[in-house]
Homo-oligomer: A and B are copies of this chain.
Amino acid sequence: MPVARVVVDVMLKPEILDPQGQAVQRALPRLGFDGISDVRQGKRFELEVDGPVDDAALARIHELAETFLANTVIENFTVKVEEPAVGAEK
* Chain B residues whose CB sits within 8 angstroms of the CB of A3 once the complex forms: 37
Number of copies: 2
Whose C-beta in chain B lies nearest to the C-beta of A60? B33
CA distance A89 to B10 in the complex (A): 12
**Contact between B11 and A35 (Cβ–Cβ < 8 Å)?**
no
Q: SS class of chain A's interface: helix, strand, loop or mixed?
A: strand
Q: Hey, what's the 0/1 contact readout for A24-39 against B, CB within 8 Å counting as 1?
A: 1001100101011111
Cβ A41 vs Cβ B39 within 8 A = no
Asked, given contacts A3-B37, A35-B51, A68-B31, whether A11 binds B46 with beta carbons under 8 Å apart, the answer is yes
Q: How far is the CA of A78 from the CA of B90 in the complex (A)?
A: 6
Interface residues of A in 59-78 (CB under 8 A from B): 60, 64, 67-69, 76, 78
